[in-house]
Every structure is written in structure tokens, then in C-alpha cells.
Amino acid sequence: MSKLSLPARMILVLTLITVMSGGILAGWDIYTKPKVAYHREQALKKAIGEVLPAHDSYEVRETDAGTLYIGKRDSIEQPIGIAFMAIGSGFQGQLRIMVGLNPDLTQLTGIKVLEQIETPGLGTKIVIDPSNKENVYWFPDQFKGIQTSPEIVVVKNAKPSTNYEVQGITGATISSIAVANILNAQIATVQSILETSQKVEG
Amino acid sequence: MSTSTSLNTEFVKGLWKENPVLASLLGLCPTLAVTNAAMNGLAMGLATTFVLLMSSMMISALRNFIPHQVRIAGYIVIIATFVTVADRFLAAFLPEISATLGPYIPLIVVNCLILGRQEAFSSRNGIGRSLIDSLGMGLGFIFVLVVLGIIREILGSGSIFGFAVMGDWFTPWMVMILPPGAFLTLGLLIALANWYNDPSSLSEIRIKQ
């Protein structure tokens, strides 16, 4: 070691350290990947169960607008609801929201924020608000029954007056509006896809 | 290098006298950010201590091998490796905690407590001593985070570790789960700790005329 020049030693040591680091991380990633994927899958299934009205099963349909989860009840031929992921930017990072709607996409049946990295205690209220004594899920629960047209609107400092308005979170306006924007965008995309496919089928 | 200092002293110093947060003011970013609930503070403290122990062990073992000029680069890579291991561990085995702590786990890399201990101690001492030092510092860090978390959670949400302890009469102080509450509480804690260690320092406050 001491026979090598200083630059050579610096390069050699740093290379060895980074190779070792890469090896440890690659191995650990292989080990943890299935478990992380499993948790994501479980969270997805649970979310579909929560945002759709009572159903016995759901059909997974891939479309140009992403994956649709179509809820069905055994006794009824028509679907009872459609759920899909709406993804977009929140205040600090990506928001991944599972949203459920009625079959003609005019009304929401529920939302669930699956992944977010919003400000703890503020933006995280889009998921759960422990400071609210009546209902810690007041924010997502608002979306049940909300109309999708003209579009979902967030109101501040006032109570919602129409059936397409929801109350924003005090101190987390951007997070609240981001949820509405992401939902509006994805709902519009899915609506246009379904209209197109219905036209094609005649 | 100072073999005259007993192992016990090396361990105990991190708990109070040289407490990383209260005395050295290190790692304040995660301290302020995740202590809005006691459980979050505890989880962050444990994750940080894990990274601290593992990187101290490795850096101490490699201390005669890493050239002085590239030591910081080397330390950062090693620290970042263990932070990623901790992050993936949480995502795989404790998904709820991973979701709650989210962005703050990767930030452990720049927690100056860890880099500080490597530079000040692990790079100059044997593996055993380095581990003892890191353990003391880690526990001291966890202690402060949990205390801070408990105070902020009681006043900000009326609970401790999720268990409601304040009755309906109590209106939670919103400010406590927000950054200003974090700064206020931490500042008071540091002041209290310093006053406890040296009561006479309070009389040194002079008001300029």
C-alpha cells in the first residue's frame, strides 16, 4: 500500500469503498424488493376496497389512461364503481391517490392518499388529521359524493356551498389544492378514454 | 488515542455532558422536523443510531487505510450506504413508519452528528472505543428526540405515543406540531440543560445600556 503514490491510493481506496457500497446495497435491495412490492400491493388492494362502494370483486383493466379497477357485485352485471390511481405533484413531492367513482364517473365514492411526503402535521392531514376530535379522516371523507363537474374545487376560509367544493386544510392550502388538481386531471383523462372506447364499440 | 479515558466515560459523555443536541447542537434538522410525535422521534433516533454505529464500526476499521485527503468523501459514501440500508429496511418491514418518516430518513446522511463523530472520534480510535462512543451519542440523541416528541405531542395533539392522555377539556396547541413550536421547545430545553449544568451562567446575562 505504501509503495503506491498518493493519487493512486486515493483512487484505489475510493473505488474500493464505492464498490463495496454498491455490493451491499445491491444485495440488500434484492432481499427487500419483494417485501416492498408486497406492501405496495397490499396497500393498493386495501385502498380499492375503501374507495369503492361495497363490492365482491374487481376487474383489472389496462387502458391508455392507466390501470382501471372496476368493482363488481356478483348479483349485478353492471359495474358498481371504477377506481384508479391519480398521481401528481403535491407540495413537497409526489402524491399517489387512489380514487373511486360511480360507473359514469360523475361522482366520487372515495379517495385514499397512498403515498405522500407532505409537511408532517400539516400537509399530511390529507391522509389523517389527529388534531380533529370529531373525525381524523375529515379531509378525505369530504370527497365522498362530490360531483366531478365542472371540476372539484377547494375552498378556503369558508364552508363549501356547492356539491363540487371541498374544504381546504388551514396551513396546507397547496397540499389541499394539489389533491383536487391531481384528481381533476386524472378523472378527465379517464373520462375521455372511456368516451372514446364507447364510441369505438358503437 | 487517549487510553487513559475509561470506556465508561466515553459512553456516558454522550448521554448528557456532551449530548449531541443539547450541548453540541448537532443534528437539529431531524430533531426539529420529526419530533411532532413521540413515536416519530423514537423511530428517527433509532434509525440514526443504527447508521451511527455501523458507520463508526466501518470507518474505525478502515481508519489507517483511507488517505486523509479523501476521508470526507469516503465517510459520506459509507454513511449514505447505511442510511439507504435503514431506509429500505423500514420500507420492507415497517411500512407505516416508513410512510410517516418518509423524506427524513434519507436526510440522516447530512446529520452532522454522524459525520462529526466519525471525524472527531471513529477515525482516531479503535473499533471498540468508537462503538462505545457512538452508542452513548446515539442514546443521548434518542433521549432528546423522545423527550421533545413527548412534550410536543402532549401539547400539540393531547397524546403520548398515540395514546390520548389529555381529556376533552384540552384544546391542542397547533403551534406545537408546527416548526415554531419545535424551535421554542428545543430552545427552552437547551436553555434548561445549560442552566442545570451551570446555574451561574444565568447571571452572566448583561443588558447593554
Pinpoint the alpha helices (H) of B62-209. 71-93, 95-101, 112-117, 127-157, 179-197
C-beta of residue B27 within 8 angstroms of C-beta of residue B48: yes
CB contact under 8 A, B81 and A25: yes
B23 within domain boundaries: yes
| Closest-CA residue to A115 (of B95, B47, B29) | B95
- What cell was used for B167? 381529556
Dump pLDDT digits (tens) for A8-65: 999 999 999 999 999 999 999 999 999 999 998 898 889 999 999 888 888 888 988 8
B101 within domain boundaries: yes
Domain boundary assignment for chain A: 43-201
Distance CA A59, CA A154 (A): 32
Residue numbers in A near B74 (CB within 8 A): 13-14, 17
B198 within domain boundaries: no
Can you give the pLDDT at residue A180? Answer: 94
B89 within domain boundaries: yes
Which of A2, A13, A133 is the best mutation test for B, with the most CBs of B within 10 A?
A13
Q: What is the mean pLDDT of chain A?
A: 88
Phi and psi at residue A104, to the nearest 5°: -95, 15
- Tally of structural domains, chain B: 1
Q: Give the global pTM.
A: 0.77
Question: pLDDT 10s digit of each residue in chain B, 209 long?
Answer: 455 578 888 888 888 888 888 888 998 988 998 888 898 899 999 999 999 999 999 999 999 999 999 999 999 999 999 999 999 999 999 988 887 787 788 889 888 899 999 999 888 989 999 999 999 999 999 999 999 999 999 998 888 887 888 877 888 887 888 889 999 999 999 999 988 888 877 666 666 54
C-beta of residue A48 within 8 angstroms of C-beta of residue A110: no
- Residue A123 confidence (pLDDT) above 60: yes
Among A28, A130, A133, the residue with its CB nearest the CB of B85 is A28
Chain A: residues touching B (Cβ < 8 Å): 1, 6, 9-10, 13-14, 17-18, 21, 24-25, 28-29, 31-32, 35-36, 39, 43, 92-93, 115-117, 120-122, 130-131, 133, 171
- What cell was used for B120? 472527531
Q: Which domain holds residue B85?
A: 9-150
Residue numbers in A near B73 (CB within 8 A): 14
- What cell was used for A76? 349485478
B140 within domain boundaries: yes
Which of A19, A24, A131 is the best mutation test for B, with the most CBs of B within 10 A?
A131
B164 within domain boundaries: no
